[in-house]
Amino acid sequence: MSERGRPRTFDRTSALRCAMEVFWARGYEGASMSELTAAMRINSPSLYAAFGSKEALFLEATELYSRTEGADIWLALEEAPTARLAIEQFLCLTAKAYAQTDRPQGCLVALGALHQDSSRGAICDDLRRRRAENHSALQKRLERGVAEGELPADFDASAIATFFATVQHGMSIQARDGASYAALLATVAGAMAAWKMLAGTDAA
């Protein structure tokens, strides 16, 4: 005898990745429940049972995104031998990641939800925190450049980290609007042309 009430089993990790891709492509507001359940291959009651709410699903999907997408971008920032090369590789790898055509273009953390209201404050707060952590990673690498003598003692690591973070966010919007890899690399070239002035050094 069949068990009518028995819930259909599913791979939670795979379902979460599918939800992540919907949110990545559509944003929190743009992702409908019907799109999410279709991508995850579950019904609404199963989604709520497994994840609690659309908001909780988005937060968990964003955590998965942060752990799995673009890790090489941040690894290069740490491993590059100079601050200048770290920033250049950071931006070049960003261009490569954002221009890939087998996944949504741009960055979920930058584009997932930009406007806060009373019902979605937790989402905007979480994304703002993640963007702040990314800024902090850039700032720390630049501060390391100061400590190692590559950059001058009066170098404003926070302000220049903001500049390059802003360049990356702009590249995310460009990519979402259809910019090619070559076009994104042109943006990188423009940003790096400003390095000498920003760094107050003659280093190439």
Residues contacting 163, CB < 8 A, separation 6+? 191, 194, 198
What does the pLDDT read at residue 2?
A: 42
Phi, psi of 82 (to 5 degrees): -130, 160
Tell whether 48 and 83 lie within a shared domain.
no
- Asked, for residue 2, whether it belongs to a domain, the answer is no
What are the DSSP calls for the chain, one per residue? ---TTPPPP--HHHHHHHHHHHHHHHHHHH--HHHHHHHHT--HHHHHHHHSSHHHHHHHHHHHHHHHSSHHHHHHHHH-SSHHHHHHHHHHHHHHHHH-SSS-SS-HHHHS-----TTSHHHHHHHHHHHHHHHHHHHHHHHHHHHTTSS-TT--HHHHHHHHHHHHHHHHHHHHTT--HHHHHHHHHHHHHTHHHHHTS---
What does the pLDDT read at residue 198?
A: 85
Tell whether 139 and 192 lie within a shared domain.
yes
Number of domains the chain contains:
2
What does the pLDDT read at residue 117?
A: 55
CATH code at position 191: 1.10.357.10
Please compute, for residue 188, the number of CA atoms within 13 A of its CA located in the half-sphere on the CB side.
23
Q: Which residue in this structure is represented by tokens 């090619």?
A: 180
CATH code at position 59: 1.10.10.60
Tell whether 148 and 188 lie within a shared domain.
yes
Tell whether 49 and 137 lie within a shared domain.
no
- Residues 111 and 146: their CA atoms lie apart, in Å, by 32
Domain boundary among 25, 42, 66: 66
Tokens of 181: 């890899």
Domain that holds residue 128: 70-199
Tell whether 184 and 154 lie within a shared domain.
yes
Tell whether 74 and 40 lie within a shared domain.
no
* Block mean pLDDT (10 aa), the chain, length 204: 48 94 94 95 92 95 92 90 96 95 92 66 91 96 96 95 96 95 97 87 54
